[in-house]
Amino acid sequence: MLGFIGGTGPEGKGLALRFAISGLNVFIGSREKQRGTEAAKEICSQFTEIGSDMVVGGTNQEAAIASDIAVICTPYAGHKATLENLKHDLKGKIVVDVVAPLSFKKGSVSAINVGEGSAAEQAQLLLPDSSVVGAFQNASAEDLLVPSQDMECDVIVCSNDQSSKEQIMLLGERIPGVRSIDGGNLQNAKYVEQLTALLISINKIYKAHSSIKIVGI
């Protein structure tokens, strides 16, 4: 079971949708139980190929408890508090952090300086008994929500635990068009997170959904 913490936003729903279509069971969590259940029902009603028992919804805590792998999709403003509250429920699990700390001011976007280095590194410090993996920060939510088209992007995966990293790399490639790239240790996650700000700016200029492709490997 994949549990999406703060999974009712576009990124969380997009990833949940793609993984459900690939045949995995997913749990969409939210601070409010009703929002989680409504998001799950929305996915099942829009995509008939997904069985109603494959996507369920509820609270963030219920998602954390039910999950084998938890995916953190909260806004950065609520990132620390959410993880502190779920520390016990996430113990011993792989935690995938997709959060990119960004600031939006006067039509421009910039990366937020995180004291711990990155959102993913902050998560690992808050969850010492979990294995944190940084991934999917640059995957376009708009593209994820259109499963009829392949993603055509690389997903850079960073973690201090090689086994967990390899599991998430395999998970990412369940999405058609995605190639997973080993991005090294978790300290490199900050560069992946910060790149999101650049991609959003490029998308605004070209009115596109740009993505990352690593060449030469």
Q: What's the average model confidence in pLDDT over 136-158? A: 95
DSSP 8-state code for residue 68: S
Q: What's the average model confidence in pLDDT over 97-103? A: 97
CA distances from 211 to 3, 45, 162 (A): 25, 29, 25
Its pTM stands at 0.97
Instruction: Give the C-alpha separation, 12 to 136, whole Å.
Output: 10
Chain centroid, CA 140 distance in Å? 11
Which pLDDT score is estimated for 49? 85
- The share of the chain scoring above pLDDT 90, in percent, equals 93
Confidence tier at 11 by pLDDT (50, 70, 90): very high
pLDDT at 209 over 90: no
Which pLDDT score is estimated for 46? 87
CA distances from 107 to 104, 189, 200 (A): 7, 25, 11
Q: Looking at domain 2-206, what is its CATH homologous superfamily? A: NAD(P)-binding Rossmann-like Domain (3.40.50.720)
